[in-house]
Structure 1
Amino acid sequence: MGIVDKHIVITGGASGLGLELLKQLQDENVISIIARMSTGLENLRRSFDRVQIYEADLADLKSVERAADLLVRSEKKIDILINNAAVQYTPHFLDENFRYETIKREIDINFTSVCSLIHLLLPNLLQPNPSMIVNINSGLGLVPKTSSAVYCATKGALNILSQSLAYQFEDTNIEVKQVFLPLIDTAMTKGRGKAKISVEQAAAQIIRGMQSSGPNIDIGKVKLLRLIQRLSPRLAQNIMKAG
């Protein structure tokens, strides 16, 4: 699927990877952003006057529904939906600073909002021409690590959801793809890990992958992780557990 003259919806496009995808796609496409109110969103309004912005707190289903309703009524079709927004909390359940209330927020942003938006925007995705749903996942959706247990669980759920939706949409115009990311250099990963790839590199590889065949777009070290998992699932588990 070529990515020119498309209407592309990106969640969480006010910062990080979402913003970089916007920058690399906006010259030849129409972009709509779904994101919560923030300084980054205000900066985006000033910098990209052609971008349509729909404010929503993705942890609040009613807010998601309002934004989706506005988008569906404003735009005739959606060619590509990129479910990019995510949040990650690192404390262990045993840690004193673990906050109970973050459980629901993490699940709602990382998983429930994805399910909701796919359902709510489906009328605009179903069309005579090819369209695409791109779910931004993580290597942690394949093999979990010790910390961020809820985050790992949401990404595992996203993996299964994407596979099932691909079956459901098999006889329609909609293609479902997943992007499996390694650690990338964003505000969310500040102070964690080494050998991160830049958002510029990640976005460029995602866009290339969207134009290629196959349901999975493996970025960077995820390619090695998938190979290790295939050859020795126990080794893959041990590597990620210690990571």
Structure 2
Amino acid sequence: MKLEQQTFLITGASAGIGQALALALAQQGARVYAWGRNAASLRALAASHANIQTQVVDLTQLAQLRLAVNTLLASTSIDCLINNAGIQHAKQLQDETYGLQDIVDEVSVNLIAPTELTRLLLPHLHSRPQARVLMISSGLALLPKAESAVYCATKAAIHSLSEGLQLQLKGSKVTVTECILPLVDTRMTAGRGSGKITPGQVADEIISELRRPARPILYVGKTRLLPILLRFAPFVVRRLLQTPIAGPHSQSQ
């Protein structure tokens, strides 16, 4: 992929991984449309590079999402969709402060929104000479941890969705890559875990991947070890992940 000739749409770009990706891609010469919910952060992002345009879009509001897609496609073409936005609540299901709205928000942002956004953009992506969809996922898609059961379930669903779309789109000009991330130093993971990589490191690995022929899965950082560990020593991963940890109420990437 010649990035300087491509146009990207990135969700969850108000901070963290999405913001780092938007800036890194723009610096490579790509045009970037960055969506998020924090208007002030998006204004600062747009001011940081001429190749970045931003828009406030609440992915839990499907009518707003559809309007944003229609408005965008009326004025530009998109070559690559990066479904990055995510919400995680580091709480157990029986926690009294974890309610139905929290569950709805996690499922809406982490699963329904990327599914619907991909569906809405697919007819357009098929018209492009080379189109890609990137699903930002997690090692927790393969094995859940003690906390954040709903978040883990949504990432497992994204893993399955990615595989299903790869089958549906086989032979077409649209490719789907699931990007499986390790623990990344964002607001979502504040105060939890160690050995995190930075959003910038994630952006660098994804950009390197975009320059190669598409693959079904990109394992980022330490997650490259996951397939081996899950095959030969799954108990090691389970021991690490299934010990409850204390953590704050976490928000989007």
Q: Which residue of 1 aligns with 2:127?
A: 127
Task: Calculate the aligned-residue CA RMSD, in Å.
Answer: 1.6
Q: Deviations over 1:177-220 (max 9, x none)?
A: 01100111111111010110111111101111222342111112
Other structure's SS at 1:13 match? coil
Quick one: which amino acid aligns to residue 150 of structure 1? V
Cα distance in 2, alignment partners of residues 126 and 34 from structure 1: 22
Other structure's SS at 1:135 match? strand
In the TM superposition, 1:57-76 aligns within 5 A as 57-75=58-76
What is the TM-score of this pair, normalised by structure 2? 0.90
Q: How far did 1:108 drift?
A: 0.5
Q: Which residue of 1 aligns with 2:160?
A: 160
Q: Which residue of 1 aligns with 2:107?
A: 107
Q: Which residue of 2 aligns with 1:211?
A: 211
Q: How far did 1:239 drift?
A: 3.0
| Alignment gaps of 5+ in structure 2 | 245-253
Q: Which residue of 1 aligns with 2:249?
A: none
Q: Which residue of 2 aligns with 1:53?
A: 54
Quick one: which amino acid aligns to residue 9 of structure 1? L
Cα distance in 2, alignment partners of residues 235 and 161 from structure 1: 27
Cα distance in 1, alignment partners of residues 145 and 128 from structure 2: 42
In the TM superposition, 1:165-176 aligns within 5 A as 165-176=165-176
Q: How far did 1:225 drift?
A: 2.1
Other structure's SS at 2:90 match? coil
Cα distance in 2, alignment partners of residues 144 and 86 from structure 1: 16
Q: How far did 1:101 drift?
A: 1.1
> How many residue pairs get matched?
242
Distance 1:225 1:130, change over 3 A: same
Preserved contact between residue 42 and residue 55 of structure 2 (Cα < 8 Å): no
Larger deviation, residues 130-139 vs 41-50: 41-50
Q: Bigger relative contact order, structure 1 or 2, given CA contacts below 8 A and separation 6+? A: 2
Cα distance in 2, alignment partners of residues 128 and 224 from structure 1: 35
Cα distance in 1, alignment partners of residues 68 and 54 from structure 2: 9
| Alignment gaps of 5+ in structure 1 | none
Q: How far did 1:29 drift?
A: 0.9
